[in-house]
Amino acid sequence: MNRRIDAVVFDMDGTLFDSMQPVTRGFIDTIVEAGGPRYSPAQIIASFPRGPSDRMLEHLLGRPVTEAERGAYHRRLDRAAAAMCPYPGVETALGALNHAGLRLALFTGADVVSLELLLARTGLRERFEVRTGGDEAGRPKPDPAGITLTCARLGVEASAVAYVGDSEHDMLAARAAGTFAIGAGWGSLWHDGHPAHVIVRSPQELLAAVQDLASPRAGRDARPAADAV
C-alpha cells in the first residue's frame, strides 16, 4: 500500500499509557458514592464504547449525571493517575516522529477534561498540536467523526494521516475515516483480530512503520507497508 503520511493521530488510553486502573476505579467509586451499583472493572471496560465520561456515568447510573458527580469522577481520576507514566518507548517515538517532520495529534473517546489531566500527569500534553475529546466528536468510535474532526483541525487530508490505537473500535473508526489504521500491539485492549492495516508490537516498530509510509517531506520516499492486511 502506497501512501504519503504527513500526520499521526493517536488514541490515548491503552495506547500512550495504561490508564485502565485509574479510569475503572474512578468510575466505580463515583458510581457507588452516587448511589449506584458496584460494577466490576470488566463491566466498566465493556461500557467504554458508550463514549465520554458523562455518557458512561449516565448509562451506568441509569439517570442524568450531576455536575457534582462529574467533578467527583475527574478528581478521582486525577488522584489515581498521579504515578502514571507513558509506556516505555512512547516518548522517544513521539519525539522522533516530530523530528522527522510529522505532525502529531490525539483523538480519544475520553472527554476533554479527562484527556487534559491525563496528558498533564504523564507529561505528554505538549507533544500534540491538536487534542480532541470524545465529547467534542458528537458520536463515539467506531464512528469516524472524532478522527475526521481532528484531521480537519490539523488541516490535513485523512488519506495523509495514520491513526494509532489499541482497540477494535479504533481500527474501525480509522478505516471509516479514510486514515491508515496502525494497531498498537502493546496496548491494553489489543487483539490480533482487530482490522488494522499494520500491527506494530512496540513504539520503536511504530516509528519504522510510519517512516516507511511517510511523505518525501518527512525524509522518506513512500513505499508499500510490508505488513499491510
Q: Is the pLDDT of residue 220 over 80?
A: no
Among residues 11, 111, 135, 166, which one is catalytic? 11
Identify any residues that bridge with 200 across adjacent strands, giving them in sequence order.
Answer: 184
Distance CA(180)–CA(172), nearest Å, equals 11
* pLDDT band of 208, cuts 50, 70, 90: confident
**224 vs 63: which has the higher pLDDT:** 63
18 is catalytic: no
Measured from the Cβ of residue 140, the count of other Cβ atoms closer than 10 Å reads 20
Q: Is the pLDDT of residue 217 over 70?
A: no
Q: Is the pLDDT of residue 224 over 90?
A: no
Is the entire prediction scored with pTM above 0.75? yes
What percentage of residues in the chain have a pLDDT greater than 70? 92
Burial class (CB in 10 A: 0-12, 13-18, 19+), 45: middle
Measured from the Cβ of residue 13, the count of other Cβ atoms closer than 10 Å reads 24
Average pLDDT over residues 115-143: 96
Q: What is the model's pLDDT at position 207?
A: 79
Joined grid coordinates for residue 52? 465520554
Joined grid coordinates for residue 192? 490480533
Q: What is the 3-state secondary structure (H, E, C) of the chain?
A: CCCCECEEEECCECCCECCHHHHHHHHHHHHHHCCCCCCCHHHHHHCHHHCCHHHHHHHHHCCCCCHHHHHHHHHHHHHHCCCCCCCCCHHHHHHHHHHCCCEEEEECCCCHHHHHHHHHHHCCHHHCCEEECHHHHCCCCCCCHHHHHHHHHHCCCHHHEEEEECCHHHHHHHHHHCCEEEEECCCCCCCCCCCCCEEECCHHHHHHHHHHHECHHHCCCCCCCCCCC
Nearest partner of 14 among 5, 24, 29, 26, judged by Cα:
24
pLDDT in tens, 157-179: 999 999 999 999 999 999 999 99
